[in-house]
Structure 1
Amino acid sequence: MDKLISILEEQDIEYEILEHREQINTAQEGADYFGIVIGQTAPTLILKTEKGIYALIVSGDYGRVNLDIIKELISVEQVKLASPKEVEQVTSSKIGSVSLVNPGIPTILDNQLNRYAFVYGGTGIPQTTLKIRPSDLERVNEIEGYIG
């Protein structure tokens, strides 16, 4: 988490690290816990392609991700969700806690997150959540493209 905080501080990003007793496993659980709408939750998915690994940050109300849209966006033949083991190797965190900030990983961002002043997502550490402005996610990640 020190790396995350130093990135946010260096970029002069307004953020909050929220600690909670229980691990939040789904967008709905996060919305219920924080008293926010589900669209403000921002899970980070890790995708595997022939070009390498990508992060996909989606709004919690996005629905099922259409991998064909992702293929076209980043010009690849194959896209699949990384396995739990691959996610851990690439991000050093487990599925469900993957950070919203992933230096060195090309990132695809859901435009629907911009409906909100703040979104909530992983820090890389279970039982903590990052509250951040969607526009700041663009500043601290290597944005490859947008969906939504």
Structure 2
Amino acid sequence: MGNIEDVLKNDGFLFELIHNDIPIYTAKEGADYFKIDIAQMAPTLIIYTDAGFYALVISGERGRVDFKEIKNILNSKDVRLATKDEVKTVTGFPAGNVPMFGIPLPYIVDRRLLNYPFIYGGCGQENTTLKVEPNALFKLNNVALILE
């Protein structure tokens, strides 16, 4: 995570690395643990489309990924979550530890995350959460699509 810490500092983004006492597997668990609105939880999911893989950073308030919406927006016939093996292969990280930044894939980012001063998501380290300003998602990633 050292590199992304340097990037966040150099670009002037406020952030904090938080070491969790317990593993966090869902947005609800994260919201309860940090005592925040579930909408601030920003898991990074890897999705497969017939055009290739994308990193999807979505607000926890959505509850689920709307694959039909993504299919329509991308004009793609096949959209699904990547398998655990695919996630590891395309990101270098195990599923559940994919960071919000630095994955060499196009990103799909949920605009709802901009409604909060900070969002919470993966940083690539087990049992560690990154609290960061949501604008960093747009500045530091190759954002191909914004979900409304």
Tell me the matched-pair count.
148
TM-score, length basis structure 1: 0.92
* Residue aligning to 1:135: 135
1-structure distance, mates of 2:94, 2:23 = 12
Structure 2's unaligned 5+ residue stretches are none
C-alpha deviations, 1:12-56, integer Å up to 9, x for none? 322111112211111111111111111110011100112211011
* Residue aligning to 1:16: 16
Q: Summarize the alignment of residues 14-93 of structure 1 with structure 2, pairs less than 5 Å apart.
A: 14-93=14-93
- Partner SS, residue 104 of structure 1: coil
1-structure distance, mates of 2:40, 2:56 = 15
- Partner SS, residue 131 of structure 1: strand
2-structure distance, mates of 1:6, 1:52 = 29
- Partner SS, residue 64 of structure 2: coil
2-structure distance, mates of 1:17, 1:86 = 27
Instruction: Please report how far the alpha carbon of residue 75 of structure 1 lies from its aligned counterpart in structure 2 after TM superposition.
Output: 2.8
Is the 1:46–1:87 Cα contact (8 Å) retained in structure 2?
Answer: yes
1-structure distance, mates of 2:46, 2:85 = 11
Is the 1:26–1:96 Cα contact (8 Å) retained in structure 2?
Answer: no
Instruction: Please report how far the alpha carbon of residue 96 of structure 1 lies from its aligned counterpart in structure 2 after TM superposition.
Output: 1.7
1-structure distance, mates of 2:103, 2:11 = 13
Is the 1:114–1:135 Cα contact (8 Å) retained in structure 2?
Answer: yes
Q: CA RMSD in A?
A: 1.4
Letter in 2 for 1:30: G
TM-score, length basis structure 2: 0.92
Structure 1's unaligned 5+ residue stretches are none
2-structure distance, mates of 1:84, 1:47 = 11
Comparing 129-138 with 62-71, greater Cα deviation is found at: 62-71
* Residue aligning to 2:97: 97
Give 4+ residue runs of structure 1 displaced > 6 Å after superposition: none
Comparing 52-61 with 96-105, greater Cα deviation is found at: 96-105
